[in-house]
Amino acid sequence: MVTGPSGVGKGTLIARLKERVDGLTTSTSVTTRAPRPGETEGDDYFFLTEEEFLEKVERGEFLEHASYSGHLYGTLRSEVEEKAGSSRGVILEIELQGARQIRTSMPEAVQVFIAPPDFAVLRERLEARGTDAPEEIEARLEVASGELAARDEFTHQVMNEDLDLAAEQLEAIVRGELQQSS
């Protein structure tokens, strides 16, 4: 699982990791937030209403789920099980609350925390991507403060100051873990 504050570059690093390590796949998360421009149902997220999401929670369909910046996010158990059967590994891109749930239910999961070089850089990245309103950016930054304080809970940490170096570090972690498990 890969976690870290919103805007830290988790998605970009995971995309690079999948280019470098054959056989990895990602789990598509579920969210109640509206799609951003260019996002595709089933590829980027499964977009549900809050009611649909909560029904799945009640039925126990999530491996993890959390509330983040006013929206619900989760990982469907069926999504991970399906992809695990046909890949070398399934990467979960999840928030801190979900990572803690996965750590409890799947202690064998590889845990990687992606950190920004500093808080100002994180703000710049969130503003530069241009997908969130100013109040949503502030809410994400408020949550990020708590997330950064929890970074030492994770087995592995990668600082995303230089994208190429961070991608190399993430690749080394994953290759090392794959070797240990084979």
Quick one: pLDDT at residue 87? 87
pLDDT at 110: 94
Res 156: pLDDT: 97
CATH code, domain with 165: 3.40.50.300
How many CB atoms lie under 10 A from the CB of residue 85? 8
Q: Count of domains in the chain?
A: 1
* Enclosing domain of residue 61: 2-181
Q: Which residues of the chain have pLDDT under 70?
A: 182
pLDDT (tens digit per residue) in 110-120 = 999 999 999 99
The dihedral built from the CA positions of residue 95, 99, 105 and 109, taken in this order, carries a sign that is positive
Contact (Cβ atoms closer than 8 angstroms) between residue 121 and residue 4: no
